[in-house]
Amino acid sequence: MRSVFKIGAPLVAAALALSACGGTTNDAGSTSGGKACDLKIGFFGALTGDAANLGINIKNGAELAVSQYNEKNADCKVTLTSFDSQGDPAIAPGLAQKAVTDKKLVGIVGPAFSGESKAADPIFEQAGLNTISASATNPALSENGWKTFHRILGNDATQGPAAAKYIKDTLKATKVFVSDDTSEYGKGLADIVKKDLGSAVAGSDETAADGKQDDFSATVTKAKSSGATVFFYGGYYSNASKLAKQLKDGGFTGTFVAADGVKDDGFIKGAGAAAEGAIVTCPCLPPDKAPEFQAAYKKAYNSDPATYSAEAYDAANVFLAGIKAGKTTSADMTAFIGSYSAQGVTKNVKFDAKGEPAEVSVWAYKVTGGKIVPDQEIK
Amino acid sequence: MNAVRNFLHGVGDRFRALPRWAKIVLAIAAAVFVYLLPIINPPLITTTDSDFGAVLFLCALYALVAIGLNIVIGYAGLLDLGYIGFFAIGAFTVGILGSAHGNIPLLLCIPIAMAVTLFSGIVLGAPTLRVRGDYLAIVTLGFGEIVRLVLVNADGLTGGSRGISNIPTPPSLDLFGVPHLVWDGFVAKVDLSNQTRFIQFSVTDSIPYYWLALTLVFIVLFLDWRMQNSRVGRAWEATREDEDAAELMGVPTFRFKLLAFATGAAIGGLSGALFATKQQFINPDNFTILYSVLFVAMVVVGGQGNRWGVILAAALLTWAPEKFRFLSDARFLLFGLVLMALAIFRPQGLLPPRRSVRAKRADEETEVLEEGAAHV
Amino acid sequence: MDLLLNNFWELTITGLAYGAIYALIALGYTLVYGVLRLINFAHSEVFMYGGFAAVWVLTAIGATKATGLGTAGFLVVAFATAMAMSALVALVLEFVAYRPLRKRNSPPLIALISAIGASYTLSEAMGLRDKPFKWFGKDQDLVRYVGRPREASPFPLNIEVKRLFYVFDYHVSNIDLIVLGAAIIMMIGLDQFVSRSRLGRGIRAVAQDPESAALMGVNRDRVIRLTFVLGGAMAGAAAVMYLLKVGQIRYNSGFILGVKAFTAAVLGGIGNLRGALLGGFILGVAENYGQAVFGGEWKDVVAFTLLVVILLFRPTGLLGESLGKARA
């Protein structure tokens, strides 16, 4: 336990007033018997900077879960604190080091991106602060043996093959153009799709990172001249919406296929009519399985749930259930998450030993009438 | 504003007027205080939302960057908007040799990183330093982007966007623990449960890295001071003030510009290497144009050519966004407004170099004399 | 390489169309540089505000349902709004960020800092535009304008792509035609204005020698304001073209485009109007060719390498600095 010595006010620091004070009262960890209140859940990701849009989606999802919890447990509230990393791996370690000193903080929803995860997760692991990421899908993250690492969505290695399967079996495409945004997420995904499609890949091209490119005319030309009937894009919705529009305007008539980074209202808004008919795969259940979430989110934020909002909602609920069960120490929480199993908004939430979701079902969604509607489960 | 300026210069003048022994004592006391900052955690200064040690590390790191860039912009007058490129090359040299494609210990990686960036500085500088003024700005900006994109696209070497993990740390010597202070209002308490091991480099404690960075800052500062007060420094000044005149006086301006560029690059490489070992993970997304812009802002806000000014500005511009985290997303709006206000009300920078202060005072005196003459 | 040869005309024309956007923005950089010797780093934000103004006004007057001739009318409205807004923002920028510096004879680099500060301020203000409305509880009523401020806002005008005629193997679309046509009209107009009109003569005079121009009775402050307004209007026009091609605009859309347009201005010879045009078109086309040959991930590398190579052989850009005298 902590022992604190007082050495007096700095202005009269000459006299050392040695008096030990018990620093244990604010140690949430020691109160696992009774019910601990005023606990916190952290959100860790970008709220400012270029990637702020995705971060805000995630934070909103987690915030909704927390406010719903507080409505039901008004006598013992939980607060959500934000660690705005700006998606910058240089800033992430400082925030993580600060986060782990907060004894009231029992879990982190995040870190949002794979890059900052690599910089911050070792710190969380060492300090025993549990994390559930709602968006970092790099497969290598779960291979480090970190006990505190969890993520609530399937990694790129589960989604890529499903996307390839859908393109081959359902769209029956024999010529596919594969593109990505050179990001860890997009490129990882596109490489898997390319490998699985094999000889069906008619051509490929890469674009700049999300939000860093506006004009895709050369990629459009390439896609057209490859004779492909399907265009797969590994990336996020900002680039994807511009690309889908320019493909259509440029005269490409095939189907646009992308993964969960594109499952966002922003894609449809940005691409307009060009989004119609596009296929989006996602390792998440259709929202009609949990209509209350959809409605509550819309009520709270005046927009439909966006990319990763539902995942964040589920992730926060895992921690909230842990708090409710009184599992507030690090080891208790780790064990609680390890044995957790309940129906969430996106899936039946359950984690395997590595912190990966135990059950991942990948669904294909289709943009119809300006809405992303479920098409079928990819089995 | 004038009062602040006079105060700062007053302090400077007082300090210079002290006897030698007092100067040394004061300087050592200040240095010790700076080293102990993260241990003392002074209230008001310490950051509440981010770890103070980690923030101080970034301050020291960017101070190092600013000293390097100050040689290029402040001394030689070359506007370099691609400094992040050298920083990135330094970081990735360490990553590639120490983790991705080799197992070279860090202490060997750092000099190699500096050599590589020095070399890349010469390679970039030799053709581009022939273009003058604002053209150089856009060429270097382009260079910074080219470096980043090559790092993204050359997956085989750099791992692309996946980046490089497990970068080696400096060797640790676990000698003793230093307990931190915690403050209750203005009462300090020693917190024995929270200690920094001297000197153990680990992911959870940034303070040893801060000490390392600070030591490098002092070493580089000393070299910088020696260099500026030598023939080289005077040649830079001459080139900056009037390139043609300098050339006529027999200063090989091109060679000196190249020297400034390459020296700056090597310091950038050193900072990049330091960043890589602290982070233990790097990917090309860390090295965007925005950082180059921020670095230039540090040098100009600090007062181009004044090494203490740029250090102060680097520390302030790094610390302030972390300190004022409670302002959350309005921080960058305010950052922009502060930059504008500084440009308008403090155009010479926070601490302008003494030479330009003297020049300005001389100008004012001449003006007064001229006006006086006109009134007669 | 085959790809380039087989699709040469398509790559050329789409490259020219995007290059026209670079060129129009580059005009703003070059005009201001010509008279003030200053890199107006915040010009990219001037562009962005014009784009948003067009989006908002078209949303407000219900352009989504437009068809046929109505579309053309809305397009004119879009151009007018965007150009007016951009000109206004440029004017305010000059007044707030640059004029105080000029009055104090600040060193040139400090203007760059002021510009960077202004750029941050303008872009973040757009990214936080829901906040003031939230204080008054109006953000829900205005959600179409201020909802999700960090996200892209789509261009409400829906122009159906029609293929009009062939240039060799490329089927030119109406959007290509609108973008290129509007750009060329703007460029000719500006060029004629600067080289023929009285005010244009003032701009050239200040660019060549500010002190002599002042002695000859040219009002320098007025000329400077005029260049900001002209540059702003061009950026506003570029913003509408950008919206036509890309279909959306975001609070940070200006940054990358600004860097590219500035590159174009330098490529052609900064301070030189025709140089900016040439630079913009060359950059647009070269990027397309480069992507076709090396792959999309090398697009920006191609652009910047081209710049370095050209500056090595022509240190003041392709056409040199003719608006003012060649000054280092």
- Check whether A38 has a pLDDT greater than 60: yes
β-sheet bridge partners, residue A232: A178, A257
User: What is the pLDDT averaged over residues A92-104?
Assistant: 87
The DSSP line for A46-99 is -SSSTTHHHHHHHHHHHHHHHHHHHHHTTTS-EEEEEEE-TT-TTTHHHHHHHH
Interchain pair A215, C18: CB under 8 A? yes
pLDDT of residue A321: 93
A349-379: per-residue pLDDT in tens?
Answer: 999 989 999 888 888 999 998 888 888 888 8
Contacts of A266 in chain C (CB under 8 A): 148, 151-152
Residue A9: band (very low, low, confident or very high) from pLDDT cuts 50, 70, 90: very low
Q: What percent of chain B has pLDDT over 70?
A: 94
**Considering only CB atoms, which chain B residues are within 8 Å of A51?**
none
Q: Is the pLDDT of residue B212 over 50?
A: yes
Contact B190 A52 (CB under 8 A): no
Q: What is the pLDDT of residue C240?
A: 96
- Of C269, C253, C258, C261, the C-alpha closest to C310 is C269
- CA B316 to chain C, closest CA, distance in angstroms equals 16
Tell me A169's DSSP state: I
Q: What is the pLDDT of residue A159?
A: 87
Model confidence pLDDT, tens digit, residues B222-238: 999 999 889 999 999 88
- Cross-sheet strand order for the sheet of A230-234: A201-206, A176-180, A230-234, A255-258, A279-282, A362-368, A371-378
Asked if the structure places residue C86 within a domain, the reply is: yes
Query: What pLDDT, on the 0 to 100 scale, is given for residue A203?
Result: 92
- Please indicate whether, in this complex, the C-beta atoms of A90 and B205 are within 8 angstroms of each other: no
Nearest to B169 by CA among B220, B110, B216: B110
CB contact under 8 A, C120 and B344: no
Residue B200 banded pLDDT, cuts 50, 70, 90: confident
B169 has pLDDT over 80 = yes
Nearest-Cα residue of chain C relative to residue B331:
C124
pLDDT at A25 over 50: no
Encoded amino acid at A151, one letter: R
Stretch (H or E) spanning A311: helix A309-324
Question: What does the mean pLDDT of chain B come to?
Answer: 87
> For position C95, what pLDDT does the model report?
94
The minimum CA-CA distance between A48 and chain C, rounded to whole Å, is 9
Buried b (16+ CB within 10 A) or exposed e, A67-90: ebbbeeeeeeebebebbbbbbbbb
Interface test with B, best of C266, C283, C287, C312 (most B CBs within 10 A): C266
The nearest CA of chain C is from the CA of B208 a distance in Å of 34
- The two three-digit tokens of residue B260, written as one number: 């400034």
Q: How many residues can be counted in chain A?
A: 379
C128 touches chain B (CB under 8 A): yes
Give the CA count within 13 Å in the CB-facing half-sphere of A260.
28
Cβ neighbours of A215 in C, within 8 Å: 18, 245-246, 287
* CATH number of the domain that residue C216 is part of: 1.10.3470
Mean pLDDT confidence for A181-208: 91
Per CATH, the number for A157-282+363-378 is: 3.40.50.2300
Residue C129 sits at the chain A interface (C-beta within 8 Å) = no
Comparing A57-66, A155-164, B39-48, the range with the smallest average pLDDT is B39-48
CA C265 to chain centre: 11
CA distances from C144 to A125, A269, A270 (A): 43, 12, 14
Most A-contacting residue of C1, C9, C14 (CB-CB within 10 A), to test interface: C14
Q: Residue C168: is it exposed, middle or buried by C-beta count within 10 angstroms (0-12/13-18/19+)?
A: exposed
Least confident range from B244-248, B259-263, B348-352, C255-259: namely B348-352
Q: Alpha helices, DSSP H only, in chain C? A: 2-6, 8-36, 43-60, 68-93, 99-103, 108-127, 130-135, 143-146, 174-196, 198-208, 210-215, 220-246, 253-268, 273-294, 299-313
The answer to whether the CB atoms of C154 and A248 lie below 8 A apart is no
pLDDT at A120 over 50: yes
**Segment holding A342, helix H or strand E:** strand A341-343
Residue numbers in A near B194 (CB within 8 A): 2, 101
Supply φ then ψ for residue B298, to 5 degrees: -60, -45
Map out the domains of chain B as residue ranges.
49-375
Domain that holds residue C241: 2-127+168-313
In a domain, C158, yes or no: no
Determine whether domain A34-154+288-346 maps to CATH 1.10.3720.10.
Answer: no
Q: Could you say which of B296, B330, B343 has the minimum Cβ distance to residue C128?
A: B330
Whether the predicted pLDDT of A4 surpasses 50: no
Q: Is B342 on the interface with C (CB under 8 A)?
A: yes
- Tell me whether residues C246 and A303 touch, CB distance under 8 A: no
pLDDT(C322) > 80: no
Average pLDDT of the residues of chain A: 85
Which residues are CB-neighbours of A86 under 8 A, at least 6 positions away?
A46, A47, A48, A49, A51, A52
The answer to whether C148 contacts A53, with C-beta atoms less than 8 Å apart, is yes
Nearest chain A Cα distance for residue B49, angstroms: 7
Instruction: Tell me if C18 is assigned to some domain.
Output: yes
Per-residue pLDDT band at C149 (split at 50, 70, 90): confident
pLDDT per residue as tens digits for the range C224-246: 999 999 999 999 999 999 999 99
Examine residue C243 and state whether it is found in any structural domain, yes or no: yes
Q: What is the pLDDT of residue A288?
A: 65
Percent of chain A with pLDDT over 90: 45
Residue C308 to residue B139, Cβ atoms within 8 A: yes
C 148-177 → A contacts, CB under 8 A = 148, 150-152, 154, 158, 161, 163, 171, 173, 175
